[in-house]
Every structure is written in C-alpha cells, then in structure tokens.
Amino acid sequence: MVTDAAASSPSSPAPSSFRLAYVPGVTPAKWVRIWEERLPGIPLALVPVPAAEAPGLLREGSADAGFVRLPVDRTYFSAIPLWTETTVVVVPKDHLVTAADEVTLDELADEIVLHPLDDVLGWERPPGRPAFERPATTGDAVELVAAGIGVLVVPQSLARLHHRKDLTYRPVTDAPQSQVALAWPEEATTDMVEDFIGIVRGRTVNSTRGRTKTTEDKPARKAVAQQSRSAPHKKAAPRRGSPKGGGPKGGGGRRGKPRRRS
C-alpha cells in the first residue's frame, strides 16, 4: 500500500512503514511498484519535498531515505548517484531557439534568463541578462516564460514536470547538470533501507545480496547442510578394468611370469 504523506504530519506513518522522500522532477513509481510486489506487508509512504529541503527532512528523521539532488553532505549521508540529467532551455514555441536542435550558453547571452530561488543547477554565474526580480519557484518562472518575460534553464525533468502546450525546450550543451541520487543518513541504515537499496540497484528477489532473501533462506540452507552431514557416505565403486590388488591396469590381481627369449 502506498500513501502520500504530503498532507499529513511527517511522523504520521506507523513505525513499520517505509517513508520515501522525493524531489520535484523525480518519479519514483517504478520502484514503488517493485516494493509493493516484494514487501506487500510494509506500507510505503511517499513524501514530496522541495529539493533544497530534502537533506533537512532526512536529518530530522521525517523520511527513511529519499531521491535528492546532489551535492549532499557525504560526512552524514550515504548516497548512491543514479543519473545525470540533460539541461534544457524552456522557451515559447515561436522562439528563435527552436530553429536549432541544441544551443550553447553563448547563444543565450542576449536573453533574459530567469533564475528562480529554487534553482538546482548551482550556477557560479547565471547566463544571459538577469530579470528585474527572481521568481520564487520554477513553476513561477515557467509562467513568466509563457508570458514572454524571459527564458528558463532547468533540468529536463523539471521542464517536463511544468509542461505547457505553448512552450518547448532545447538541450543546452555546456550548461551545468543536475545529478539525482538515493540518499539516507548513514547511521540510520535500517533493514528497510537495505531492501529499498536492493530494489533501486536492480537486484532480483533471488539475489544473494538482497537482505530479504538472505534472511528467509537461512533455515533452508541450514537444513540442507545438516542433512548432508547426517547422510551416510557411500564408498565409491571400483572403476571397471582396474585391478583390485593395485597391479597394472588390465593385469588383474596376479602377474604373469616373464617369457624367456629364445
């Protein structure tokens, strides 16, 4: 069973549930589906969280693990990098940028490039000309693009998340990129976290590295080992044609007398 913890208190799921945080642009559906198939008795609660707030939510224990955007504090968190996103520029469908398959940052130099407060690309210096005011969110910035105020450079997943029929996007070849990872507090690596790590890494149910299989198979392996030790060992039958008394192969148990040469 999957529950959405967005409208409830972070501590509302029962202790036996697994709470999974995820940032905008990440769709955890496929991993959730595998969790439900393998661990139907353990509810999974989804906790949507803004990218900037994800590390704090994990630190305070409001989620057991989460899909976050790197970097995170690796002295506190364990993290498994999963994929790096293509960076795109979001523009109106009639914008000149749409004439090309991809663009560079230099080609955006004369554009007003919106830089929302929840930006995840970590620019040293944003490209283009700055807007009069920074939008509060990426969603607000997309609305401004649709109004013809400027363009927006974001990871492709966020462009898809805020898709509009009057907008499109093109890859930006030399822009910073955002990397998504599964992260959790290193000191809180529970059995359920290990189970979810196995799912994300693509381990099968029969994988020897999966916690669930290892735990369930211990009694079976022990029983097989005990049966093997208690079973009587049969003596190997002599190979056909081999001597019983250790003589040369094919010579039987007695040696013939040597013939004299005439």
Write down the pLDDT at residue 205. 77
Query: For tokens 């969280």, what's the residue?
Result: 49
Segment 7-17 mean pLDDT = 54
Q: Give the model's confidence band at 109: pLDDT under 50 very low, under 70 low, under 90 confident, else very high.
A: very high
Closest CA to 85 of 154, 139, 182, 184: 154
pTM, rounded to two decimals:
0.74
- Go through the domains of the chain in sequence order and give each one's CATH number: 2-84+179-214 (3.40.190.10), 87-171 (3.40.190.10)
DSSP-derived pairing of the beta strands 87-92 and 2-4: unpaired
pLDDT at 77: 98
Residues facing 182 on adjacent strands:
67, 80
On the question of pLDDT at 242 being above 80, the answer is no
Convert the pLDDT of each residue in 123-153 to its tens digit: 999 999 999 999 999 999 999 999 999 999 9
Tell me which residue of 129, 123, 115 sits closest to 174, measured CA to CA: 123
Residues 6 or more apart whose CB falls under 8 angstroms from that of 45 comprise 2, 3, 4, 5, 13, 17, 18, 19, 20
Per the model's pLDDT, the better-predicted residue between 222 and 24 turns out to be 24
Place 237 in a pLDDT band, splitting at 50, 70 and 90.
low
Give the pLDDT band of residue 204 (cuts 50, 70, 90). Answer: confident
Give yes or no for residue 11 having a pLDDT over 60.
no
Minimal CA–CA distance to 127: which of 140, 142, 115, 139? 115
Average pLDDT (209-223) is 44
